[in-house]
Amino acid sequence: MLAKTILKVATQIPWEKVIELAPSVAERAGTLWKSIKSKNKRLSVDESSVYTPYTTELSESDILKARLESLEEQIQVSAGLLKTLAEQNTSLVQQIELHQARLFRQSLIFSGVAAVLAGLIVYLFVR
């Protein structure tokens, strides 16, 4: 049942568009990864030049800075994941194209063998 569902879903995917757009998806994922990495290398503020009063509680700006750093880390992880998925997609598309070519060759061979066998059967009955 699971195989039937997977086959049904796989037949509904527009594979021609997936194959056509795979290189651009991989390229854009790479540029996204590069832009995220370059944005991470921003200048930091010298902590000694900023006056911070001594308190035991975290200030609102410290909380916001921590949240911002957490979000930036999540963005980097997401960009890395997108890059990996795009590379895997490109690899899958290449494998699909290889299997399509192999299936076409096998179909031609099978058709040729079937034609020869049909001809042989007709020859044996006519003879």
Q: Determine the pLDDT at residue 43.
A: 42
Q: Determine the pLDDT at residue 53.
A: 54
Q: Determine the pLDDT at residue 42.
A: 54
Q: Determine the pLDDT at residue 46.
A: 47
Compute CA 63 distance to the chain's CA centroid, rounded to the nearest angstrom. Answer: 35
Question: Is the separation of the CB atoms in 25 and 83 below 8 Å?
Answer: no
Q: What's 75's DSSP letter?
A: H
Question: What is the number of other CB atoms lying within 10 angstroms of the CB of residue 72?
Answer: 14
In single-letter form, the type of residue at position 27 comes to E
Q: Determine the pLDDT at residue 89.
A: 87
The whole-angstrom separation of Cα 69 and Cα 75 is 10
Per-residue pLDDT tens listing for the chain (127 residues): 667 777 776 777 777 777 777 777 777 777 777 777 776 665 444 445 444 555 556 788 888 888 888 888 888 888 888 888 888 888 888 888 899 999 999 999 999 999 999 999 999 999 8
pTM (2 d.p.): 0.45
Residues ≥6 apart with Cβ < 8 Å to 58: 66
